[in-house]
């Protein structure tokens, strides 16, 4: 019978505190149980923001980013089918929420949605090539699959950092900032699984290594941009024993 998230996370905490060993089942990343996704949706609070006619750079950023989020969703769904690692299925659900947030902006401004093609197909040729390469790498073995996940979040954050320097519409800025926080959480999840599974740590490919290290050292953020810091309150410590964002990794392992 499948264990609940609370049970498995509590057991892991007891094991770590009692033996000092970071274990994950029998060492296979697939032992993290599947959970309902409670990740950052990306579009929270933007409905009430004013209509501001987007300029050419903002239109291009929205069009590209919705396909980039689709790439993440499609790769993760495909890798879940290959390896049955819950983190891919759970984060794929979050990527769908990210897509929905951008699509709401495309609809608001009467812009075409390029992310209507079938899974694995893209209007943007660069993203099509990236998808093909990432999927091929992720099907080699479980380590490469987790590295692909971390790479996708790395490039997402890199591109969102770039776009946030260009956009000034309040609603687009809000969504992109939320997406960036979500990608940072996802990067922490993939990095934690790489470490727990005994693989080499993720090395930066798009961001600098200092930027990656800073993200991994920071506490997990929620949809409002607030960090989930740790204090001595018992209820807070208890909440850290569960997988609140549904990424397949206990929250205390991401702090």
Is residue 32 domain-resident?
no
Number of domains in the chain: 1
Which range among 9-18, 87-96, 161-170 shows the weakest confidence by mean pLDDT?
Answer: 9-18
pLDDT more than 90, % of the chain: 65
Is residue 249 domain-resident?
no
108 burial (CB, 10 Å; 0-12 / 13-18 / 19+) is: middle
Task: Residue 155: give the domain boundaries.
Answer: 40-227
Contact yes or no for 46/109 (Cβ under 8 A): no
CATH code for the domain in which residue 129 is found: 1.20.1260.10
> pTM for this one?
0.75
Is residue 99 domain-resident?
yes
Is residue 193 domain-resident?
yes
pLDDT tens for 45-67 read: 666 788 899 999 999 999 999 99
Rg of the Cα atoms in the chain: 18
pLDDT at 50: 85
Nearest to 41 by CA among 88, 101, 86: 101
Given a cut of 60, is residue 80 above it in pLDDT? Answer: yes
Average pLDDT, the chain: 79
């Amino acid at each position: 019978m499948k264990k609940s998230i609370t049970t498995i996370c509590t057991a892991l905490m007891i094991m770590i505190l009692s033996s000092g060993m970071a274990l994950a089942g029998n060492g296979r990343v697939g032992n993290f149980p599947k959970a309902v996704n409670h990740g950052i949706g990306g579009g929270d609070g933007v409905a009430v923001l004013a209509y501001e006619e987007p300029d050419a750079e903002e239109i291009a950023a929205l069009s590209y980013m919705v396909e980039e989020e689709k790439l993440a969703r499609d790769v993760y769904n495909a890798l879940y089918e290959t390896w049955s690692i819950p983190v891919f299925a759970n984060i794929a659900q979050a990527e769908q929420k990210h897509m929905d947030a951008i699509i709401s902006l495309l609809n608001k401004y009467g812009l075409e949605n390029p992310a209507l093609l079938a899974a694995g197909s893209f209007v943007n040729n660069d993203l099509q090539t990236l998808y093909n390469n990432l999927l091929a790498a992720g099907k080699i073995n479980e380590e490469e699959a987790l590295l692909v996940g971390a790479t996708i979040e790395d490039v997402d954050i890199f591109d969102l950092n770039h776009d946030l320097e260009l956009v000034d519409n309040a609603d687009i800025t809000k969504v992109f900032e939320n997406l960036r926080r979500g990608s940072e959480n996802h990067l922490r999840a993939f990095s934690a699984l790489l470490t727990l599974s005994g693989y080499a740590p993720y090395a930066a490919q798009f961001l600098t290594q200092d930027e990656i290290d800073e993200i991994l050292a920071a506490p997990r953020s929620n949809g409002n941009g607030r960090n989930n810091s740790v204090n001595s309150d018992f209820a807070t410590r208890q909440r850290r024993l569960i997988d609140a964002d549904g990424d397949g990794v206990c929250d205390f392992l991401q702090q």
